[in-house]
Amino acid sequence: MTALSRSGLPGLDYALNPYMGCFHACIYCYARLYTRDKRVSENWGRVVIVKENLLEVLNSEVKRLKRGVVGVGTITDAYQPVETVFKLTREAVRILLNNGFRVSIQTKSPLILRDIDVLSASKELVDIGFTITSVICGRSRQVEPNAPCPESRIDALRRLSKLGFNTWVFYGPIIPGFNDDEDTITLLVDIASETNSVLYYDPLHFKPFMRNPKHPLHPLFASRTFQERITRAINHLRNECLERGVQCKGGFEY
Ligand code: SF4
């Protein structure tokens, strides 16, 4: 097993995923497609494997690998509920920062606040992004059943921003009929503006597992207005960002 794998994601040199699988169980999650272990990928949201020797492997890798940017939690949320017990993310981030690697953390969990002490020690090497797909908890539960409510993510974002961390918001996936409305967009721009965060957006990408007629996103496949609604939402978002002086980028634009 390796701890750091090469990343093809924009802006990242390496990926670090302390857990395989994710209890947050988002119905749109693409990570299951990149998870080789079938016990996890075929039971997405119900099985999480802890990489118990991660820290040992990482300690040896950081000595020989070139310094770079490490995406923490690219195919899991590194702040899983089990992280409260295992503390693998906390210790891995500490090792990376102590060895001069930059870390870019994307999460849906306020559990990251537990690690403010570790992150603050090398603030200039850290950026932190929160995925916020809706600002209403009841609504976000429809697509992210076990993830912490957006209110708690927004509070955590505010706190980290006030502490001077480089923060960002990820508005994705944009799902017509769920979060493409103007009120959601305005509130997200408000939050990004208040916290001085870059706002990234990304539309829903259709994946084979969504083709199952029982999948809740299946009806969107047949929707003739899908693309039109996505375009309208992105245009609205871009205009609002421009008016408010918020930096706004496509999730895969750099
Ligand atoms: S939090 Fe991220 S990794 Fe976890 S299920 Fe949701 S989208 Fe997938």
Per-residue pLDDT tens over the stretch 28-47: 999 999 999 999 999 999 99
Per-residue pLDDT tens over the stretch 222-239: 788 999 999 999 999 999
For the CA of 76, the nearest atom of ligand 1: 3
The count of other CB atoms within 10 Å of the CB of residue 173 is: 22
Distance 31 CA to ligand 1 centre (A): 7
pLDDT of residue 254: 45
Q: How far is CA 214 from the centre of its chain?
A: 26
Distance 130 CA to ligand 1 centre (A): 12
> What are φ and ψ of residue 249, in 5° steps?
-140, 150
Q: Where are the alpha helices (DSSP H) in 77-130?
A: 83-86, 88-98, 116-120
Cβ of residue 153 lying under 6 Å from some atom of ligand 1: no
Distance 63 CA to ligand 1 centre (A): 30
User: What domains, with CATH codes, occur in the chain?
Assistant: 5-250 (3.20.20.70)
Q: What is the pTM of this model?
A: 0.96
Cβ of residue 29 lying under 6 Å from some atom of ligand 1: yes
Alpha carbon nearest to ligand 1 atom 3, residue: 76
